[in-house]
Amino acid sequence: MNQKTLHILLVEDNDDHAELIRRAFETENYPATISHAPNLAEAYHLQQTTQPDLLIVDFLLPDGHGTELLPKHLEDRTLPVIIMTSHGDEQIAVEAIKAGALDYIVKTPMSLLEMPAFVERAMREWGHILEWRQEKENAAWFSRILDKTHNEIFVFDAQTWQFILVNQVGQENLGYAMAELRHMTCLKICPDHTAESFAELLAPLQNGQEESIQYTTSHQRRDGSVYPVEVYLQLSQFQATPVYVAIVLDISERLKREEQMRQQDRLAAVGQLASGIAHDFNNIMAVIILYTQIVERSSDLSEKDRKRLQTVVEQASRAAELIEQILDFSRSSVLERHIIELAPFLKELIKLMQRTLPENIRIAFQNDATTCKVNADTTRIQQMMVNLMLNARDAMPDGGNLTVTLRTETFQPGDTLPATEMEHGRWAHIIVSDNGSGIAEEVQPHIFEPFFTTKHRGRGTGLGLAQVYGIVKQHDGAIQVDSRPEEGAAFHIYLPLQTPAETFTNISIDTTELVTGNKEAILLVEDDEATQNALAHSLELLNYRLILARNGKEALQLYEQNRPQIDLIISDMVMPE
């Protein structure tokens, strides 16, 4: 029995019935105080002034029906109501219950004496209603809190694994509405797990060994696509039911950035190795070309031998071009920077490429930038674009569409950057896209590595994209590829936009003719003996005097000793000492 003293408002126009009900509570020693109203008007007044815990109301009253005391909407009920009538009428009973009454009683002497039992039952049921309301409010509050987070949050039954609650982020990421998820278990979205493997994963929580666990897996969306996630899982209670609460982080971007960093480290290591090899190989080719050119200038050389030597120079020059590509990749080549307005530059380059590409490849330029200036080496940027367009050509042997797009992008602090090496600020964004064969996902991490190629033997050196990568990096930029097999490829190049305050002067030198000297003195600084000898021999034949140094320290000493007579210094950039 309820121990709290109830304040009951009894609305009854029959004084005998009211007295019988009052006596019933006294006989049962039921802890209650009863206020009596003979009509609706008095009932409204007492309800406002006495704040009752429960209403006992006769259906037929002098000024209306007792159900008029009930609120219009069930959810607005603030206290339990018992309706009484002198005549058993099922229709009245149905209307009373639908209107919000907790009980309906036909008045007889026996039922009036049993009123304390009816009140006890009504209060018990009202307690359940209040608990349900509180749980509903708590769930709504909990759901509002969850929907404000940026992570997926799942609540699922600890026994059946059926979803109980999924926040808005989770619903949107998975592509399911909550009404659908309630009929699904979490295994539906976990392609990496079977029932056995999932039970094994949950075992430490079930047996109390761990309070929470953390693991990585994949979740499957409604459309079948999967995405990597990191899950933090804990056993808890929700509405008196044992549940698992999972906080789920989509780690797609994190894994992408980690892969970018691994790729950068890998390419940096390869670039360092390639730079060393290319530097040595470049010296070897320089010696071959220089001595061959010296022999070419011999007067007693036959025409046949002269052509043979020209072939040697041509092939050695081709090898030197390959070395230049390797140096571009390793970011060891020397840049001649100046301000380039990219839109007209790309427009002219595309006109040139239109005459070079096959007729079945349609090339278009889309300029979405009003002005787009970068501080760059024109030759290198041209080489970068040519390599990308030729790469697109090779991906479309039967023809297709090649599009070059130019945009400007501004990334504010807090914005997600396309690449880890980029900084917030203003960038030129060049996109070279095609609708060709595309690039397989497993191949994409390797496409910028030197000598890596998916083309048939003899169709490419594997240095084109490596050179592009190096040129972009040397210009403090970033490059990314977006591609799927048979859906084409899009290469995104980001270069820092030129700030208005920066200005540069370009110096042009005519190198078409050999300039004969008049015994001017040249300080030649080169650590490789063969290269130094070849250069010295070539310059001596052009009537120059040579002062030779093998390292920086020796060069400084010779410069101090011969400063008045030195007319020119030719020096290697990287040397010991």
Give the pLDDT mean for 297-324. Answer: 81
Q: What is the pLDDT of residues 192-221, one digit of tens each?
A: 999 999 999 999 998 888 888 999 999 999
Confidence grade of residue 507 (pLDDT, cut at 50, 70, 90): very low
User: Between the ranges 83-92, 125-134, 268-277, where is the mean pLDDT highest?
Assistant: 125-134
- Domains of the chain in sequence order: 6-136 (3.40.50.2300), 150-250 (3.30.450.20), 257-329 (1.10.287.130), 337-496 (3.30.565.10), 521-571 (3.40.50.2300)
Note the pLDDT of residue 194.
92
Note the pLDDT of residue 504.
45
Give the pLDDT mean for 482-507. Answer: 77
Q: Compute the mean pLDDT over every residue in the chain, rounded to the nearest whole number.
A: 84
Better pLDDT: 133 or 329: 133
Note the pLDDT of residue 489.
93
Percent of the chain with pLDDT over 70: 86
Checking if the pLDDT of 332 tops 60, the result is no
- Tokens 């200038």 locate to 297
Give the pLDDT mean for 407-414. Answer: 91
Continuous segment of H or E residues that includes residue 164: strand 163-166
Better pLDDT: 469 or 275: 469
Q: Which of 53-62, 256-265, 355-364, 470-479 has the lowest mean pLDDT?
A: 256-265
Continuous segment of H or E residues that includes residue 65: strand 64-65
Q: Kindly list the strands in the beta sheet with 241-250, ordered across the sheet, starting from the edge strand earlier in the chain.
A: 163-166, 152-157, 241-250, 226-238, 212-220
Note the pLDDT of residue 88.
66
What's the whole-model pTM score? 0.45
List CB contacts of 222: < 8 A, sequence separation 6 or more. Answer: 174, 175, 176
Q: Which of 267-281, 358-372, 403-417 has the lowest mean pLDDT?
A: 267-281
Q: Kindly list the strands in the beta sheet with 54-58, ordered across the sheet, starting from the edge strand earlier in the chain.
A: 32-37, 6-11, 54-58, 81-85, 103-106
Q: Which of 88-102, 348-362, 440-454, 455-469 has the lowest mean pLDDT?
A: 455-469
Checking if the pLDDT of 294 tops 60, the result is yes
Note the pLDDT of residue 430.
95
Confidence grade of residue 508 (pLDDT, cut at 50, 70, 90): very low
Note the pLDDT of residue 146.
66
Note the pLDDT of residue 449.
78
Note the pLDDT of residue 505.
45
- Tokens 């121990």 locate to 3
